[in-house]
Amino acid sequence: MLTKMQKNLVVPGRKKPYVMAHRGNQALCPENTIASFQQAIHDGADILETDLQISADGVFMCIHDSTLDRTTNASGLVSDYPLEKLKTFSAWNHRQGFEKETIPTLEELAAILPPDVALALELKTDAFLNEDIANQLIQALQTYGVLNRCLVISFSKARVLTIHRLAPDIPAGLITMSGLRPDPDMQIVGPFWPLLFLNPFYMKRAKRQEQIVCPLDPAPEPRLWFYQRIKVDAVLTDNPQITCKKIRKYENN
């Protein structure tokens, strides 16, 4: 269970910086698959991050691209296919041994989420600007029993604010490649990691604004010493197995 998420991300029993598994463990498994998420849980990730697209019949699907071409054995837009058809495609992403993996639904991911692990949802489509769709997502999270440990993130400020305005207890996070200062409207900020070096006062300002900081850095190992020093709240990683081990090593030194 998470508490006071709108001001302070707390994962009980776990230490900061939290490890956010970027599309699960995509270093060892195809991204955004149940295998990838289960591997990340096994690795010790504190937060699972996934991307959300929407099927033709309105089901929330865990897949990064708007098209199927890169990560599945099919082609075309995710939004052109109903769930039943999407489930016939392999989400193997050309990884041998994972041919039976399919595109998970948000419900399937929520079903395997441990009670002490949070869920970060990257909103990948402007459909989330529609309040009816936003309310459907909020209701789904409530039904799945994970609403109190979810956060929404995006490169689009408008998408996350649509959700946050309707459900203020769901923190909104902005990922940015260029913002030298943390956006004061956000509860979570995800600056591209060089920005933290370019602006040494970034963390101080974010803490003053009671914001959660998770740098956009899917291969963070060379900079973990820096993140530990400036006390970021979470680190993103493509390989939570390695990142978790490295963080524990730093903690024990």
Q: Which helix (H) or strand (E) covers residue 139, if one does? A: helix 131-144
Contacts of 125 (CB under 8 A, 6+ apart): 52, 53, 54, 66, 79
Query: Which of 42, 64, 94, 164 is the catalytic position?
Result: 64
Residue 64 known to be catalytic: yes
Burial (Cβ within 10 Å: 0-12, 13-18, ≥19) of residue 38: middle
Residues 55 and 74 sit within 8 Å (Cβ to Cβ): no
Residue 94 known to be catalytic: no
Residues 159 and 129 sit within 8 Å (Cβ to Cβ): yes
Distance in Å from the first CA to the final CA of the chain: 30
Cross-strand pairs, 190 = 175
Q: How far is CA 161 from CA 139, 143, 153, 156, in A?
A: 16, 21, 10, 9
Residues 37 and 26 sit within 8 Å (Cβ to Cβ): no
Query: Which of 22, 42, 94, 164 is the catalytic position?
Result: 22
Phi-psi region of 143 (alpha: psi -120 to 50; beta: other; left: phi over 0): alpha
List the catalytic residues. 22, 64
